Structure 1
């Protein structure tokens, strides 16, 4: 199986469980203190698998997990001084969207959000990139 050896490292969550967990969340905005209080083991995001078994599963990623991935990215693929604008084109439901969005932002870079129709048209994509060079 694709997940052999990963048991216990990343937990999955069902939609019903996620719905149950969110019942106690406040509908109002968080205070500054609430936003800044947390631990590295706290849940950062839930991404859903493609459902190879026929049923998509939510995979919980902690802040520690996300930052570990970003630190690796920054070490192996560091941003150069001339790289001030980065492209965001990945669907939010895809795991790579996390590093494509947060990697540049946490390094002080600007992200250019590319509309899906532009990603499918090379001429428009090049024109957009040239415009925001």
Structure 2
């Protein structure tokens, strides 16, 4: 019997140099064939002002709630301590409520006050919490 000598398989290597050349040519092609806008812009539709602005200081009521669950209202540079029943009288004429709360106050107390304000048909409530 004859001995057959087999060659060991050679490791096949893929040259990355050709691939880099092809990618570089494609990059140049796409850069030359594409068009870029010089100025990017987008349209913003702004509301038109009709007469007097609604965000005047007469429309704003500032309410403060401290960690002792005491309510304070800032009325014409005067700060008054009030309760929930007295607060109803202030809410009839105001449209924007700014709610200031102490950072140590319980979360549930703030939610209860917001729920009370929403029950009085106050829709614009801005929350300002001290950090």
Which category describes the TM-score, using the shorter chain as reference length? under 0.3
Q: Which has the higher strand share?
A: 2
Larger fraction in helix? 1
Which protein has the larger Cα radius of gyration, Structure 1 or Structure 2?
A: 2
